[in-house]
Structure 1
Amino acid sequence: MSITDPVRLSGSSAGGEVASMECAQVRFLSVTDVESLVTLEESTWDEDQAASAGELAARIQAYPQLGIGAFTADGVALASLFMKPITVEELRAAATWSDCAEVRTPAPARTRSLFGISLSSIDADAVTAIFEFFWPYALKGGWRDIYLGSPMPGLRGWMKANPEGSPDSYMREKRHGLPRDPQLRYYHGKGFREILECKPGYFPHPASLDHGAVIRGRIPLAAGAPLWRLVPLSWLHLMRSTLFRLV
């Protein structure tokens, strides 16, 4: 599998994104979006990887402020991002992506961390627009970081060429200062630059030998959380197009 072949986890259709389409609206998701989101899922994931209408609705209902979509003027979903609160303890104890992504209510108390359940897209600029949209809300909400479980589609080929190596060493290998693996390199460009742990049996994914990499991205300027709670959300919206692109 190459980066052009998406997997659903906290994965995205990175290389499968097409040239930018016009993104008319980025907003929080509602259950009325499910039909359009199912079409997006089916266009980016394999049949056994795409989330069902029921799964999508459950995520939206459980975490209404943590599901975001980008749409064309006529309502076609270009990208979606689903997240949930998670504690570091839950993340470490989770053996699989399903453990991390399971919808649970109530949400864990006293956590400033999120887990990215899935990132699906057919448009590169729509993904950037989603993260830019969420940034003011993340600052106001006191969120500090987002964890993802990523495939490593280059692992199988690398192991064939380097039988003495290990999945963990491949996960941490760099080329020109960037992760060797194409999917990890994609996420690095989206701000997920901390590679934390290699988990075997994380999800079914032949090209990754069923291994997943747990990675983390820090929310830009989140360290100033006490200040951001005092700043009106409207100000953060005005600041986001400038500051988000600088950090």
Structure 2
Amino acid sequence: MRGAHRPSAAPAEIPEDIFDVLRSARHVSILTGAGISAESGVPTFRAPIDGLWETYEPEQLVSVEGWESDPGVVWAWHVWFAALISRCSPNPGHRALGRWNRNWTRTEQGLIEVATQNIDDLHTRGGLAPIAHLHGQITKFHCSECGAPASPILSWPTEPAPSLPPPKCPICGGYIRPSVTWFGEALPTKAVDAAVQSAMTCDAMLVIGTSGAVYPAAGLPKLVAGRGKPVIEINPRDTDITHHMDIVWRESAVVALPALVDGVVCDHD
């Protein structure tokens, strides 16, 4: 490796140029997908459909049409899914990104920005709040009629229920809904704009645990590559956007990210 520090605990197959790229960068944009959350035990959106919701197609529970047809069932599914997520903890990959962010912030070495396709809050709990939740956040809520933000839920159910009446908006009386992007809805404009801005100004991008099959998120690495900046993929398997990558590391986030951060930061927390 050209002048880079390889931590003693790093996997033997770590790409040779990865530290050179990231230690010379001052603005790193990061795109994460379901892979990093799955390593914390976060279920896919289909998992909570077993049991009470097994007679429903997944799209019925995460779509505008499903909400309009039966908001009680959709609300019950979402709060149970949120309850399952609340029991999961940030994994070593999340915590490594948080440590990297703390180190760079404290030493004024650079800027790290995360755009995520995940609706959980594990990045934030791990110490690095995303600039963009591209598909929304399951722990945030707003009125389905007037759009006003709603108070957070302070405790999640301990058992699933087949149907629950959604809370009512204190302003207009409409139903409160989760602030996630359902089938049939556009992604949040501010989140997309922030992710694009990061991709258009970064020195390098990390793409972690995403299949690269869902747009517009899958287009972000292409924006970076189109500017001639390096793009690094961390994923155990090939994806739809692997051919756009400059460096590919076939490893899980929980193994790769702690080793990567050990080699990038100048000192350790």
Q: TM-score, normalised by structure 1?
A: 0.25
More strand by share: 1
